[in-house]
Amino acid sequence: MKDNAVYWKMRNGRLISVDDMDVNHLRNVLKMIIRNNQKVQTTCPHNISDAETLADLEAEHNAEDYGCR
């Protein structure tokens, strides 16, 4: 196992190394991440655009209070 290995948890719960994913799998993962990000942006009243901003908001307040989760 590599020290810098990154794993993706698939729907069935199995972990797969990102390095071992084929191009189609990587493409589908990216599309899913983009879709999920768009859902968060459209449901969150604060238009949080990046993870750092969300982390700051969570650190300052409970994100559930803002409907961001």
Tell me the per-residue pLDDT of 38-68, one tens digit each, with 9 for 90 and over: 887 777 665 556 555 666 666 665 544 545 5
3-class DSSP assignment, residue 54: helix
Proportion of the chain above pLDDT 70, given as a percent: 58
Structure confidence at residue 3 (pLDDT): 75
18 and 7 in contact (C-beta within 8 Å)? Answer: yes
Structure confidence at residue 63 (pLDDT): 45
How large is the average pLDDT for residues 26-44? 85
CA neighbor of 8 nearest in space, from 25, 52, 63, 31: 25
